[in-house]
Amino acid sequence: MRIKKIIKMSLLLFFLVFLTVILNGNITQTVHLQKYNKMKLVDSWFRGKFSSKEMLKVKDHLSPECKHLLQNVLKEVKYFPVPESEEDDTLDVSFVDTWQAERNYQGKRGHEGTDLMASENLRGLYPIVSMTDGTVTNIGWLEKGGYRIGITSESGIYYYYAHLESYAGQKKGDIVKAGEFLGYMGDSGYGPEGTVGKFAVHLHLGIYVYRGGEEISVNPYFVLLHLKNKKLKYAYS
Ligand SMILES: [Zn+2]
């Protein structure tokens, strides 16, 4: 009789502990997910981990403005910005996550993009294509960006391609399609118009959104990872 009682009590106790653990876990998770629900576009985690696996796991819990930007970018990016060479498979680009890494030209600042480094340090060799459909909203020299081209998508997101060697010929206001040739990769920038050779040949890619006159950049690194298998093939060597 006594043993039965002890067993009963033990089972009850075990059940109560079990229930507490489960409820606690749920509460913790709810609190944990609430932070995504209130997230703003300027949130440093949102900008830095943009479209990463980590973010995609909680995407349904993101605030409407964050979810909207994420969905739009993932919907409109169609191609990796540097096509593969049909003629020479040693021509490749590599990139790592350098979001907010220190840059010092014209004062200390954080890197607001991803650099796609050329395996062959030759300007004018690698073609650059638009990742999205859109309109050319900026083209020409910028001291920091060199010969740059900016494409604004239909949803208003700004895709910035910098340090080009030359342009394909589009003008401001022209409509471009995803995969369209924009120009050749180079090493232009960091000086007056025409300056080259201040760094290795690469494409600097940036992604920006404008909110109430404010320019907000997000990390393109994970977006580029999603596009690694979406490379066009161009004939160049
Ligand atoms: Zn860069």
- DSSP assignment of 73-107 equals HHHH--S-SSPEESS-TT--EE----TT-EE-TTS
Within 10 angstroms of residue 27's Cβ, the number of other Cβ atoms is 10
Q: Which residues contact 15 (CB under 8 A, 6 or more apart)?
A: none
Question: Contact at 8 Å (CB) between 100 and 120?
Answer: no
Q: What is the pLDDT of residue 237?
A: 94
Task: Based on DSSP, count helices (H) and strands (E) in the chain, helices before strands.
Answer: 5, 14
Alpha carbon of 98 to ligand 1 centroid (Å)? 8
Alpha carbon of 136 to ligand 1 centroid (Å)? 20
Question: Contact at 8 Å (CB) between 149 and 137?
Answer: no
The CA-to-CA distance between both ends of the chain, in Å, stands at 88
Residue ranges near ligand 1 (ion) with Cβ within 5 Å: 113, 115, 204
Alpha carbon of 92 to ligand 1 centroid (Å)? 17
Alpha carbon of 171 to ligand 1 centroid (Å)? 24
Pairing of strands 93-94, 158-167: unpaired
Q: What is the pLDDT of residue 43?
A: 97
Superfamily of domain 81-234: Glucose Permease (Domain IIA) (2.70.70.10)
Q: Which residue has the tokens 């349904």?
A: 60
Alpha carbon of 24 to ligand 1 centroid (Å)? 44
What is the phi/psi pair of residue 181, to 5°?
-65, 130
Q: Which residue has the tokens 């160049």?
A: 236
**What pTM was estimated for this model as a whole?**
0.88
Q: What is the pLDDT of residue 1?
A: 64
In 3D, which of 168, 185, 178, 43 has the Cα closest to residue 115?
185
Alpha carbon of 147 to ligand 1 centroid (Å)? 13
Task: Give per-10-residue mean pLDDT for the chain (237 aa).
Answer: 82 82 70 87 97 97 97 98 96 96 91 97 98 98 98 98 98 98 98 98 98 93 97 96
Sign of CA dihedral 54, 57, 62, 66: positive
Alpha carbon of 175 to ligand 1 centroid (Å)? 25
Alpha carbon of 20 to ligand 1 centroid (Å)? 50
Q: What is the pLDDT of residue 33?
A: 82
* Boundaries of every domain in the chain: 2-61, 81-234
Question: Contact at 8 Å (CB) between 205 and 160?
Answer: yes
Q: What is the pLDDT of residue 208?
A: 98
Burial of 47 (0-12, 13-18, 19+ CB in 10 A): buried
Alpha carbon distance 67, 75 (integer Å): 12
